[in-house]
């Protein structure tokens, strides 16, 4: 009796071709969506800055600090009634006077443009020509945006204590001149951050 092997058994087989690695998905769709969302947020921010800014009412005193007389110490009334001299105040008022003397000036000149200006966290509106001087505070930055209305030429600049720190120009249809300054990290004053 002869033993037969089933067909295909015992015969050399052809090696199978290696499979190609799975194709990597391109993530261009995610990148495109991210860029579109970022651009949309920037456009909304610009529209909100231009449309949401308004002039502050000059009669609005809610945010304006007022000076008040210091409270009298318990023993100071006796000194005042007896004619004794009281101790002069500390050097704090001198520091306040120095800080109050420092100013920031927003300056815009040229053709018709819508102007938005102010320190970080605020948005004041104005028209060309514009020259506004305010006490210098400690916000993260000060900025001006001047958008032309249909064409022309506009210049903006921000001055600290009369010295120009940032300046920009724009010409043409609806172009924007933008100035911005921020405090130097070394604490040496203000620097142009308009690039």
Q: DSSP states of 106-148 as a string?
A: EEEEESSEEEEEEETT--EEEESSEEEEEE----SEEEEEEEE
Q: Please indicate whether residue 45 or residue 70 has the higher confidence score (pLDDT).
A: 45
Domains (range + CATH), the chain: 101-195 (2.60.60)
What number is the average pLDDT over the span 73-102?
51
Q: Please indicate whether residue 129 or residue 73 has the higher confidence score (pLDDT).
A: 129
Q: Please indicate whether residue 40 or residue 61 has the higher confidence score (pLDDT).
A: 40
Tens of pLDDT, residue by residue over 120-153, are: 999 999 999 999 999 998 899 999 999 999 889 9
Query: Does 55 have pLDDT greater than 90?
Result: no
What number is the average pLDDT over the span 88-96?
51
Tens of pLDDT, residue by residue over 6-43, are: 665 566 666 677 777 766 665 566 667 777 777 777 77
Torsion angle defined by CA atoms of residues 112, 117, 123 and 126, in that order, rounded to the nearest 10 degrees: -30
**pTM, two decimal places:** 0.50
Predicted confidence at residue 40, as pLDDT, reads 77
């Amino acid at each position: 009796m002869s033993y037969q092997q089933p067909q295909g058994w015992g015969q050399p087989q052809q090696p199978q071709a290696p499979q190609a690695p799975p194709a990597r998905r391109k993530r261009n769709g995610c990148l495109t969506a991210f860029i579109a969302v970022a651009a949309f947020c920037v456009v909304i921010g610009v529209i909100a800055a231009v449309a949401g800014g308004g002039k502050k009412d000059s009669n609005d005193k809610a945010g304006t600090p007022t000076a008040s007389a210091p409270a009298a110490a318990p023993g100071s009334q006796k000194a005042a009634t007896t004619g004794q001299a009281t101790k002069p105040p500390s050097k704090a008022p001198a520091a306040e006077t120095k800080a109050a003397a420092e100013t920031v000036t927003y300056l815009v000149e040229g053709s018709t443009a819508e102007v938005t200006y102010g320190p970080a966290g605020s948005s004041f509106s104005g028209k060309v020509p514009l020259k506004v001087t305010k006490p210098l505070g400690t916000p993260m930055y000060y900025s001006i945006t001047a958008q032309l209305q249909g064409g022309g030429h506009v210049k903006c600049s921000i001055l600290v204590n009369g010295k120009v720190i940032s300046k920009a120009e724009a010409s043409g249809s609806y172009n924007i001149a933008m100035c911005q300054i921020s405090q130097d990290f070394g604490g040496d004053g203000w620097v142009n951050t308009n690039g």
